[in-house]
Structure 1
Amino acid sequence: GVDILIATPGRLLDLMNQGFISFRDLEHVVLDEADQMLDMGFIHDIKKIIAKLPPKRQSLFFSATMPKDIVELSRKMLGDFERVTIKPEQATAEKVEQGVYFVSKPNKPKLLIHIIKENPESTLIVFSRTKHGANKIVKKLDQAGIRSAAIHGNKSQTARQKALSAFKEGDLKVLVATDIAARGIDVEDLSLVVNYDLPNVSETYVHRIGRTGRANASGTALSFCDKEERPYLRDIEKLIKQSVPRMPEHQFVDEDTPQDTGSQPAQQQRKQGSSRNKNRNRNRPGGNNFRGKNNRNTNRPKKRTDSSRSE
């Protein structure tokens, strides 16, 4: 009597093996977040499930980003498929103001604490590359008197739901998350996303900043970039086809902090030397405060025609 079944791959396989699931009358199968499902350890489970599906069916793969290697893998699984895209020329959210701070790794906690304290009314998600890193960020914030919670794969489902509920209801202002745990987060009026660690997969950046600027709302995405992460920033700028605006120097700069990555998009913009780019540079998001929902700047830079879409 069930018309629609929504499941994670591992649990679905478990129920199939126990004989509780029959695909005899199945007509449609949807794989959401296909880029992650086919690239992060789920691929073997997905192949086992697809092998059990009836040959006569409609298969739909959904994803905000689809790297070339995942497209080729999808082709092997689906055959000659039709591709449908929405605003394909835009890779990141139109209404998300982006910025990058060049900061050494030891100074990242200090800069994060400074940003949070300067904007006490704003809600923000902080992205960490690892589960251990997420726990360390929460510990650092706690030492500074800032209440936060981490959600990642090592947390129980109950703990994750409790933290997310507190965040959505406004009882918790700061949520620290890894990429896998944050894929399904949809929070209204989210002011800021902070990439504490730049992702080593460029497409992940699009998913992260897509947490804010949703449903016609505006938002801000700030990234911290240390010396080792400069190649990641260049890859991200190549993907989104624009240079992420550089934030002004801050009080946590030290001798090892790079102040210009020399990324190709930035070099091209400097060579152009147009008045349009100069105006943009003057209006870059910066200062002590970012432009969250409670801290608007009326001199917001003009929309970039090459800004990208959210998920």
Structure 2
Amino acid sequence: MTFDQLGLIEPILKALQTEGYTEPTPIQEQSIPIVLQRKDLLGCAQTGTGKTAAFAIPVLQLLHEDRKAGNHNKGIKALILTPTRELAIQIDESFAAYGRHTGLKHTVIFGGVSQVPQVSTLKHGVDILIATPGRLLDLIEQQFINLSQLQIFVLDEADRMLDMGFIHDVKKVIAKIPAKRQTLFFSATMPPEIASLANTILKHPSKVEVTPVSSTAETIQQSVYFVEKENKRLLLKHLLLDASIKSVLVFARTKHGADKVAKDLHKAGIKAEAIHGNKSQNARQRALTNFKSGETRILVATDIAARGIDVDNLSHVINFELPNVPETYVHRIGRTGRAGAAGIAFSFCDEEEKAYLKDIQKLIGMNIAVVTDQPYAMRNTSLQEAKKPAPAQNEHRPQRRSFRGGDSRRYSGNNQQWRQH
């Protein structure tokens, strides 16, 4: 099936074509028609399935159709509630990509940063708001946000909300939105409290369930380098002196980080380009074309920008920073070693990322080989005391429940493959 067969409008199909997407992932294929019928949806899916597009695309289409029909009231019409600033930013980038031809306005708000620019954008009016619970409730209480015109509510990563102590804040938000609305509810697992919440806020929902990718191709040689954070750029330059590394996709966690890595390599005389959501479409396309043609040897990318990158004979993937979602690791390194070809994946792991490495190894069911013969090796390579990094200050409101062991329980016992969008 292609996106053309899902009944999507031309402005969205045009945006998808620009992004290089033609075929929907399983959750997109199942979810988009349901949402377009204005039905409630219960989706069991983790990050990495393409679920953001599964709700962003139909939400954009419904609001665009309402506007054309003259049903365009002022105010926020769609709210996407998500647990972390990273996810919120990624979702906002997706709405920007898929909605670039719709004329709909969107913005993202989260804690840990000044609210002034966020409030300024809100005052100019937005159709779609992506938010973390704490900052959303703060701005509602300050009367900068009014949700009385809300038509669509998306609750993303519900079980992670529970783990992070946000469940009471989520209930507070739900109490402040119109009872008559369309609700889309996504969770990787269904513990009793989440199942109860779903039953409370959904009305005759359709259910969509997809299974996660949890295995890596046998043709990919994986290794991990334990290295202090401040030495990562030195280690990267050291590795890239090896001429056998013909083409390498380097993953950074943030757009700013991708730029810093590319600039540092450029200063060292190593040709590299960065690709991320803040780059113009022309700049992104030029960088990708240069990389595919071999003119640029190194492409530094964020996970969002790397979507749609399909390079034949990519020799190496380097995780400059480990992802905090284990499935993302599988998708990243899966860009090499395709169609039976050999591939190599290096991952840098600093002290704060050890917990991520533990989750990754649990997901893929194997220990990744450690490279000790390297000039910037970290002394302590044990994962025994690895703990998840604390959330950013001011990002979370006070927790009212105990932490339930993070995300690790979400990734057990699942060996079926899923695809990323």
* Equivalent residue, structure 1, for 2:4: 4
SS in 2 for 1:150: strand
CA distance in 1, matches of 2:346, 2:284: 24
Which of 361, 382, 406 is the matching residue for 1:260?
Answer: 382
- Aligned letter for 2:347? S
Is 1:79 the counterpart of 2:201 in the alignment? no
Q: Which secondary structure state, in structure 1, belongs to the residue aligned with residue 369 of structure 2?
A: coil
Q: Distance in 2 between matches of 1:34 and 1:229?
A: 20
In the alignment, the residues of structure 2 paired with residue 183 and residue 113 of structure 1 have an alpha-carbon distance, to the nearest angstrom, of: 25
Deviation at 1:219, TM superposition (A): 0.2
**CA deviation after TM superposition for structure 1 residue 131, in Å:** 0.2
- Give the aligned residue type for 1:79: S
* Cα pair distance change 1:8/1:252, threshold 3 Å: farther
Asked whether the 8 Å contact 2:220–2:337 carries over to 1, the reply is: yes
> Which residue is 1:148 aligned to?
272
TM-score (norm 1): 0.63
Matched residues, percent identical? 41
Secondary structure of the 1:107 match is helix
Paired residues of 1:127 and 1:194 also in contact (CA < 8 A): yes
> Partners in 2 of 1:195 and 1:216 — Cα distance?
21
Is residue 246 from structure 1 mapped to residue 373 from structure 2 by the alignment? Answer: no
SS in 2 for 1:215: helix
Structure 1 residue 12 displacement after superposition: 2.6
1:38 and 2:51 correspond? yes
TM-score (norm 2): 0.48
For 2:52 and 2:223, the matched residues in 1 are separated by 28
Which structure would you say has the larger RCO, counting Cα contacts within 8 Å and 6 or more residues apart?
A: 1
Deviation at 1:261, TM superposition (A): 2.1
CA drift of 1:38 comes to 3.1
Deviation at 1:204, TM superposition (A): 0.6
Q: Secondary structure at the match of 2:215?
A: coil
Alignment correspondent of 1:168: 292
Deviations 1:145-184 (A, max 9, x none): 0000000000111111101111111111100000001121
Q: What amino acid maps onto 2:12 in structure 1?
A: L
Give the conservation status (yes or no) of the 8 Å contact 2:47–2:325: no
RMSD over aligned CA atoms reads 4.2
- For residues 236 and 115 of structure 1, what CA distance do their matches in structure 2 show? 23
Q: Distance in 2 between matches of 1:199 and 1:185?
A: 18
Give the alignment of 1:59-98 within 5 angstroms: 69-70=187-188, 79-81=206-208, 91-98=215-222
Alpha-carbon deviation of 1:253?
2.9
CA distance in 1, matches of 2:416, 2:214: 3
Mapped partners of 2:339, 2:355: distance in 1 = 32
Q: Deviations over 1:102-141 (max 9, x none)?
A: 0001110111111111235511000000000000001110
| Structure 2 residues not aligned, in runs of 5+ | 16-27, 33-44, 66-156, 160-186, 387-413
User: What corresponds to 2:350 in structure 1?
Assistant: 226
CA distance in 1 between counterparts of 2:307 and 2:206 reads 27
Question: How many residues are treated as equivalent by the alignment?
Answer: 238
Q: Mark the runs of 5 or more structure 1 residues left unpaired by the alignment.
A: 16-27, 54-65, 265-305
Return the match for 1:137 from 257, 261, 276. 261
Q: Which letter maps to 2:51?
A: L
